[in-house]
Structure 1
């Protein structure tokens, strides 16, 4: 299993800052970048998540074992694809019309958003998670192993080892994991799905995912693995 000690987050919005706080509390060294200069976000970071290091994208990536994309989906191509070469990357993004604009201008209609993120960062390994639970639930619902109130996150990607490494990382941040090994399955947790915005325990989340897998659409995704 991959040893993760340093976490980098690209995106200093609500989700990025929430994940930075969770990672810091779990004992990781955490760096975060925003859309502006370091000076622009440094004070905010110091106030909201003291101990997290504000940095430029290059420094965040260079000093991280795992990188989380917590940007508006419409901005991921502002990052040079080569910046994340050979990195394990978590896609925590969703298309959201209020921030991303017209869907057809952001995403091609023939594949899911994470498939397109993986295609763009072709020399990186993308795993999708943290996208279906609201930032406030991420912040408030993290619990240690064995806590009956613990919630679960969906984790999916094409690389089995990477998915397992990310699942372990999710566990350390305070959540159970329902694992899938097909990045296209991420559509089950995107806006418009019953799971989007839901904060569920492991059994409920797994039951919902298993039910989806038995639908015609779910079988089509599974067959494409």
Structure 2
């Protein structure tokens, strides 16, 4: 993966773009309003970044980042994301997204629903557990005692491997919290979430195990 396609140019998507560029990637970034609205962002990001439509960002490489909230009716380019690893950065935020009864009941996680929206893709939870500005400031070299850890979960081992490599390049350890059905353990309101400002790998593993199913906030 030498190019990262990013669907979503908000705080999370733009910070992933910045971290990717620092680590030698090229970036293709899209939003819902069209590439012409991203001129200022792309100018800031520099010559290794370009704006595109969502379908073009999806086709930029064998994987893509989806940095937009889940919607009841899917509006992502399903065909262009077919066969690709999709890094899903979404957290379920009732105040923003409204209620999804199937998530509230514990029957499905937000990342399982994303997989249902993208049935021909391989969805993996990624970058859900860090404040966006810290993606470019909190990374540390491997082996440093206070290196932060981030969770990931997927039903596809190759997707977890890709996210693990990317986390490491960006300066973070990984805790594999697979499968996708377990991703609720790092959701808002859980111990791992309330401690997201700083958790080493060991601390994150403990907090994931402390998680308990809770109702919507």
TM-score, normalised by the number of residues in structure 1: 0.84
Pick the aligned partner of 2:26 from 20, 24, 29. Answer: 29
Q: 1:6 to 1:148 in 2, by over 3 A?
A: same
Output one character per residue of 1:164-184: Cα deviation in whole Å (capped at 9) or x when no partner. Answer: 222112111211001122001
Report which stretch shifted further, 141-150 or 159-168: 141-150
Give 1:67 shift: 0.5
Distance 2:42 2:166 in 1: 22
Matched, 1:44 2:41: yes
As a proportion of its length, which structure holds more helix?
Answer: 1
Match of 2:76 in 1: 79
Matched, 1:148 2:145: yes
Matched, 1:70 2:103: no
Q: Which consecutive residues of structure 2, in runs of 5 or more, have no partner in the other structure?
A: none
Report which stretch shifted further, 127-136 or 6-15: 127-136
Output one character per residue of 1:149-199: Cα deviation in whole Å (capped at 9) or x when no partner. Answer: 321100111112221222112111211001122001111111222222613
Matched, 1:159 2:171: no
Match of 1:123 in 2: 120
Output one character per residue of 1:33-61: Cα deviation in whole Å (capped at 9) or x when no partner. Answer: 012111111222322x2232111112212
Q: Per the alignment, in what secondary structure is the counterpart of residue 19 of structure 1?
A: helix
Cα pair 2:89 2:126 within 8 Å, conserved: yes
Output one character per residue of 1:63-107: Cα deviation in whole Å (capped at 9) or x when no partner. Answer: 22321110122378111322210001111011223432x213895
Q: 1:160 to 1:201 in 2, by over 3 A?
A: same
Cα pair 1:152 1:202 within 8 Å, conserved: yes
Matches within 5 A, 1:1-225: 4-47=1-44, 49-50=45-46, 51-74=48-71, 77-100=74-97, 102-104=98-100, 109=105, 110-196=107-193, 198=196, 199-212=198-211
Q: 1:161 to 1:17 in 2, by over 3 A?
A: same
Q: 1:76 to 1:34 in 2, by over 3 A?
A: farther
Cα pair 1:156 1:163 within 8 Å, conserved: yes
Distance 1:173 1:160 in 2: 20
Cα pair 1:158 1:182 within 8 Å, conserved: yes
**Count of residue correspondences:** 209
Distance 2:29 2:81 in 1: 15
